[in-house]
Amino acid sequence: MVTSKTIQKNEYKKTTIGDIPFDWNLKSLESLCESNGLIRGPFGGSLKKEYFTSSGYKVYEQRNAIYKSADIGDYYITEAKFKELERFKVKTNDFIVSCSGTIGEIYQIPCNHTEGIINQALLKITINSNIINQMFFLKYFEWRELKKRIIDNTQCGAMQNMVGMPVFRKILIPVPPKEEQQKIATALSDTDNLIESLEKIIDKKEKIKQGTMQQLLTGKKRLPGFDEEWENIKLGEIIDFINGKAHEKAISEHGEFVVVNSRFISTEGKVIRYTNVQYCPTDTEDILMVMSDVPNGRAIAKCYYVEKGNKYTVNQRVCIMRTKKTNSKFLFYLLDRNPYFLSFDDGAKQTNLSKDDVLNCPLRIPIQLEEQQAIAEILSDMDAEIEALEDKLEKYKKLKEGMMQELLTGRIRFV
């Protein structure tokens, strides 16, 4: 059984990146690599777009590192060009790291990868496995504290959008004894597996919910006990419409009320701004909807359901829809990103829904309020289950971050 212990202050030694255990070694990234194992992708004329083909040898890009996949990407080069640039070739177990834009994202090349080379936005790392465990190295590089240190070591700090080879060569990594590296890597990998399995469950539940909505909100599937016809109406027949008002000049860091803007709605209430005034207050069971968004934006017609009334105030470019004779939760599910509203987005210019656009939205709804409520309850129960799983996922992610902080600094040791 693997056990751990918290080490005492006198068991640390001071280094330029902080205190580490006495029996850990501080090494530069360059010293952890094989000969010619630290290479930046080709610049300038070596990889012009006119060399790209529709098939052949893959050109690995930054997005392969960001999205942790060897399968995405559309750029290939001929065999002749591949041979010319062979020193930039990636092989199984190599690491690719983004060194411009989103800096520090890392991905390990799998055994079934498509043969190819890296482009100028990537760094290729081939580590010496006799010195450092591959999984330990990957976990350390994924740690946000290391990414922050990489950015901080650039000349322009967080504003820098490209990191040069001198910075990467000198990155310092604390290296525990080999057996401890393996134990740390295993513990963090096990936590990653928990997170990944939970993400798959959530994704499955989301897809089931989407399928259920498609059936119940269109009347393709009827619930037992309900057989009355549905009616065709315009949205304006069942709601009162209220336009939001500008709150930009009344934003307060510690305000009493939440300002509902498009950012708040599109992030499911995660990005919040506050105010001490309610220029456009909400009531319980109001439906709030984004009225304006960029071309192909994900916020247009996104809705938010108000569970508690005296908490929010609605900003401009967001509207309140207050139901008069319809189950409000059912209507929320029906209106959220409704295809009618999405049809106003031509993909070329800003989408701005008007009051008339909203009120003229055609709907087909159950005549019986009881059927509306029954449908809403099923979907609400699904949402509650997904939300509980998402809360659990967030706890796992925080647990992992805490584990990384303790294990990768040697504050807790495996014995």
- Give me the domain span that covers residue 87: 25-175
Q: Which residue has the higher pLDDT, 100 or 154?
A: 100
Q: Mean pLDDT, the chain, as a whole number? A: 92
Confirm whether 35 is domain-assigned.
Answer: yes
405 and 352 in a common domain? no
User: Phi then psi for 179, rounded to 5 degrees?
Assistant: -65, -40
Q: Which residue has the higher pLDDT, 179 or 1?
A: 179
Residue 331 in contact with residue 238, Cβ under 8 Å?
yes
Per-residue pLDDT tens over the stretch 259-272 = 999 999 999 999 99
Q: Which 3-state string (H, E, C) describes the chain?
A: CCCEEECCHHHEECCCCCCEECCCEEEECHHHEEEEEEEECCCHHHHCHHHEECCCEEEECHHHHHCCCCCCCCCEECHHHHHHCHHHEECCCCEEEECECCCCCEEECCCCCCCEEECCCEEEEEECCCCCCHHHHHHHHHCHHHHHHHHHCCCCHHHCCECCHHHHHCCEEEECCHHHHHHHHHHHHHHHHHHHHHHHHHHHHHHHHHHHHHHHCCCCCCCCCCCCCEEEEEHHHCEEEEECCCCHHHECCCCCEEEECHHHHHCCCCCCEEECCCCCECCCCCEEEECEECCCCCCCCCEEECCCCCCEEECCCEEEEEECCCCHHHHHHHHCCCHHHHCCCCCCCCEECCHHHHHCCEEEEECCHHHHHHHHHHHHHHHHHHHHHHHHHHHHHHHHHHHHHHHCCCCEEEC
**Which one of 349, 365, 381 terminates a domain?**
365
Confirm whether 266 is domain-assigned.
Answer: yes
Residue 159 — pLDDT band, cuts 50, 70, 90? very low
199 and 168 in a common domain? no
Q: What is the pLDDT of residue 158?
A: 43
Per-residue pLDDT tens over the stretch 80-136 = 999 999 999 999 999 999 988 888 999 999 998 889 999 999 999 999 999 999 999
143 and 241 in a common domain? no
Instruction: Look at the chain and report how many structural domains it folds into.
Output: 3
Residue 167 — pLDDT band, cuts 50, 70, 90? confident
Rounded percentage of the chain residues whose pLDDT exceeds 90: 82
Confirm whether 45 is domain-assigned.
Answer: yes
Q: Is 79 exposed, middle or buried (0-12, 13-18, 19+ CB in 10 A)?
A: exposed
1 pLDDT higher than 50? no
Q: What is the pLDDT of residue 53?
A: 86
Residue 192 — pLDDT band, cuts 50, 70, 90? very high
Per-residue pLDDT tens over the stretch 21-73 = 999 999 999 999 999 999 999 976 677 777 888 889 999 999 999 999 999 88
Look at residues 382, 410, 6 and name the one whose alpha carbon lies nearest to residue 177.
410
Per-residue pLDDT tens over the stretch 14-26 = 999 999 999 999 9
- Report, as an integer, the average pLDDT of 301-305: 97
Per-residue pLDDT tens over the stretch 241-262 = 999 999 999 999 889 999 999 9
312 and 297 in a common domain? yes
Q: What's 196's domain CATH number?
A: 1.10.287.1120
Rounded (5°) CA angle 91-92-97: 75
316 pLDDT higher than 70? yes
406 pLDDT higher than 90? yes
Look at residues 244, 141, 126, 139 and name the one whose alpha carbon lies nearest to residue 182.
139
**Which one of 175, 194, 212 terminates a domain?**
175
Range from 5-9, 21-25, 345-349 carrying the lowest mean pLDDT: 5-9
136 and 67 in a common domain? yes
Q: Which residues contact 264 (CB under 8 A, 6 or more apart)?
A: 258, 271, 272, 273, 304
Confirm whether 1 is domain-assigned.
Answer: no
**Which one of 139, 160, 175 terminates a domain?**
175
67 and 167 in a common domain? yes
Confirm whether 130 is domain-assigned.
Answer: yes
Confirm whether 189 is domain-assigned.
Answer: yes
Residue 364 in contact with residue 219, Cβ under 8 Å?
yes
Confirm whether 12 is domain-assigned.
Answer: no
Number of CB atoms found within 10 A of residue 103's CB: 20
134 and 269 in a common domain? no
162 and 186 in a common domain? no
Confirm whether 19 is domain-assigned.
Answer: no
375 and 249 in a common domain? no
- Report, as an integer, the average pLDDT of 152-166: 64
Q: How far apart are CA 176 and CA 386, in angstroms?
A: 40
Q: What's 166's domain CATH number?
A: 3.90.220.20
